[in-house]
Amino acid sequence: MKTLGQIAKYLDGELRGNADIAITRVVHPALVRGPEDLALVLSGNVLELLKQNQVTNAVAPAELGPIDVPNFVLVPRPRLALARLLELFERPAYSIEGIHPSAVIDPTAKIGANTSIGPNCWIGPNTVIGTGCRLVSNVSIGADVKIGNQTLVHAGVFIGDRCEIGDHVIIQPNATIGADGFSFVTPERGSVESVRPNKKTEVTSFNHEIVRVNSIGNVVIEDHVEIGAGTCIDRGTLGETRIGSGTKLDNLIQVGHNASIGRNCLIVALSGLGGSSKVGDRVVMGGQSGLPDHMTVGDDAVIWAQAGVVGNVPAKQAVGSTPAVPMRDFLEREVQLKRLPTMQRQLKELQQAVADLQKKLGQG
């Protein structure tokens, strides 16, 4: 429970109405059920709902101006206010206190104070986990792993040998950190080598034998990173695969061996980053986008959803489509393609006009 006055202060918003109202829930305006509910208004589209639901308390965008609700707080950036409100009203994932007797912890592992190890977890030899961490359940952690403080590891996560996880990291369920890289070599020239240089159509050498390249490196995840459910980050071959501090990966993302992702990146679900790819700071990658092996993406670049990158992306550039091009080029081509029917009509008209002229001049 917080008072509306406390909330207004925390949001740095402008309060109108009763500061002493007790708020117990933050809800969508459609879901307001009582006088302790606070409706969050993200846009003017829901103003009608406020009346219908007899809403008495609301947070709303300053740009809407005073709204027709007894008590309200105006804020400049409502999605930020939502984030702040959900800090106040957070409902953390349940995990047991202490170490569950069903957890299997190697005697050489070290577990920090106030760290919770849930049911059916396994922790391998020489692994060191800091203080205030939570391993929810059915988590598997190999040997020689280091985990910092205040890190949350959800159910079913695997963290492989020698990986290093920072402080305040969140790893969503069923993510895999530190599987082996997808690294193979053919003793002779392989099929892709025969078509890659000029994008040929005919394959002329063949993968009769495939030799595995073992992965002896690790994964390093810096502080304040979030890893989505089902996401897989492969270990480096010799060195490391690194995720920079503050970076957030959505669900079901593939990060190949030796990839390096900078700080404060946002990478949306089902994207794939090839081996040894190098992503700068504050890069945004849309859903289902792809970055091949060894490609570089500069700081602050934006890669649109489903884009297929085929060359290095400069800093601050937004690219889209497959093969990915700067958005300006993409839009120009779209314009050109839309003119195709007109061009075809114009061509026909010209053919007729020229035929007429030829006839007139006795060429017909």
Interaction residues for its own copies, span 315-344 (CB under 8 A): 316-322, 326-331, 333, 336-337, 339-341, 343-344
How many other C-beta atoms can be found within 10 angstroms of the C-beta atom of residue 275? 19
d(CA 305, CA 284): 10
Least distance (Å) between residue 146 CB and its own copies:
15
Secondary structure element (H or E) that encloses residue 37, with its range? strand 37-40
| Upstream peptide bond of 323 is cis (omega within 30 degrees of 0) | yes
Catalytic-residue membership of 257: yes
* Position 113 contacts its own copies (CB under 8 A): no
Among 58, 73, 109, 155, binds its own copies (CB under 8 A): 155
Among 272, 278, 279, 295, binds its own copies (CB under 8 A): 272
* Position 305 contacts its own copies (CB under 8 A): yes
Residue owning tokens 């989505």: 228
* Position 346 contacts its own copies (CB under 8 A): yes
Among 130, 156, 166, 244, binds its own copies (CB under 8 A): 156
* Position 40 contacts its own copies (CB under 8 A): yes
* Position 359 contacts its own copies (CB under 8 A): no
Interaction residues for its own copies, span 41-70 (CB under 8 A): none
Interaction residues for its own copies, span 157-176 (CB under 8 A): 158, 160-162, 170, 172-174, 176
Least distance (Å) between residue 51 CB and its own copies:
20
Interaction residues for its own copies, span 232-271 (CB under 8 A): 232, 234, 237-239, 246, 248, 250-252, 254, 256, 264, 266, 268-270
Residues 297, 276: contact at Cβ < 8 Å?
Answer: no
Residue owning tokens 């030796």: 258
Q: Which residues pair with 233 in a beta bridge?
A: 177, 255
* Position 82 contacts its own copies (CB under 8 A): yes
Least distance (Å) between residue 216 CB and its own copies:
4
Least distance (Å) between residue 201 CB and its own copies:
4
| List 28, 168, 208, 257, catalytic entry | 257
Residue 10 or 182 with smaller CB distance to its own copies:
182
Instruction: Return the SS3 of 257.
Output: coil
How many other C-beta atoms can be found within 10 angstroms of the C-beta atom of residue 102? 12
d(CA 34, CA 95): 30
d(CA 222, CA 262): 10
d(CA 79, CA 293): 36
Residue 311, Cα to own-chain centre: how many angstroms?
Answer: 21
Least distance (Å) between residue 285 CB and its own copies:
11
Q: What are phi and psi of 38, to 5 degrees?
A: -115, 120
Among 140, 223, 294, 296, binds its own copies (CB under 8 A): 140
Residue 13 or 156 with smaller CB distance to its own copies:
156
Residue 6 or 19 with smaller CB distance to its own copies:
6
Residue 220 or 268 with smaller CB distance to its own copies:
268
* Closest of 267, 260, 233, 255 to residue 244, by C-alpha: 260
Residues 232, 254: contact at Cβ < 8 Å?
Answer: yes
# residues near its own copies by CB under 8 A: 140
How many residues in total does the chain contain?
364
Residues 142, 160: contact at Cβ < 8 Å?
Answer: yes
Least distance (Å) between residue 322 CB and its own copies:
5
* Closest of 120, 131, 106, 129 to residue 155, by C-alpha: 120
Catalytic residues: 257
